[in-house]
């Protein structure tokens, strides 16, 4: 239940920040900004107000607002997936093997284990390189990380 509330609050924040960033650069508040005048006076930088009131900066800020609104819309349409991902991150302490990992580890047969060790089914040494067999086997197994980490970072124990 708290994951759903978290996603809903995130969506509302995306819309609120997006709406502010869409509207604020084109309002009179953008030019009559107390903090802008304060920073200009302290830094003695008269170019800052000119830069911030240019159309390019206003357009860039408006673009960020549009991106925030699009992020909120994406999470509305992918609400269930976002909640499931958040729940999966919360269950990190109770790490469970994902279905893909359990299927791939169960499907390893004794033939592939003996091939990796350099032995054939009869138990005699194989003439093929063991490095080639192990890299070939590793590339055919599906890799799934349950907590959406990059492949270089191992999952939590």
Spatial distance between the Cα atoms of 88 and 148, rounded to a whole number of angstroms: 9
Distances in whole angstroms, Cα of residue 13 to Cα of each of 6, 65, 69, 72? 11, 11, 9, 8
Residue 21: pLDDT over 90: yes
Spatial distance between the Cα atoms of 94 and 74, rounded to a whole number of angstroms: 29
Return the higher-pLDDT residue of 126 and 155: 155
Spatial distance between the Cα atoms of 95 and 75, rounded to a whole number of angstroms: 25
Helix, coil or strand: residue 130 = helix
pLDDT confidence band for 73 (50 / 70 / 90) = very high
* pTM score of the predicted model: 0.53
Q: 110-150: per-residue pLDDT in tens?
A: 444 545 555 455 555 555 444 444 455 555 555 555 556 56
Nearest residue to 131 via CA among 120, 108, 115: 115
What confidence score (pLDDT) does residue 50 get?
Answer: 86
Spatial distance between the Cα atoms of 146 and 89, rounded to a whole number of angstroms: 8
């Amino acid at each position: 239940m708290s994951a759903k509330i978290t996603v809903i609050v995130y969506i509302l924040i995306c819309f609120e920040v997006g709406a502010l960033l869409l509207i604020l650069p084109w309002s009179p508040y953008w030019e009559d900004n107390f903090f802008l005048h304060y920073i200009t006076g302290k830094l003695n930088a008269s170019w800052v107000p000119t830069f911030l009131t240019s159309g390019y900066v206003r357009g860039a800020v408006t673009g960020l607002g549009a991106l925030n609104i699009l992020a909120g819309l994406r999470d509305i349409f992918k609400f269930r997936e976002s909640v499931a991902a958040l729940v999966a991150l919360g269950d990190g302490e109770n790490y469970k093997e994902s279905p893909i990992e359990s299927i791939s580890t169960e499907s390893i047969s004794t033939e592939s284990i003996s091939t990796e060790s350099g032995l054939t089914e009869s138990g005699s040494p194989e003439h093929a390189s063991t490095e080639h067999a192990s890299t070939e086997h590793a590339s055919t197994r599906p890799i799934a990380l349950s907590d959406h980490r990059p492949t270089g970072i191992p999952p939590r124990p």
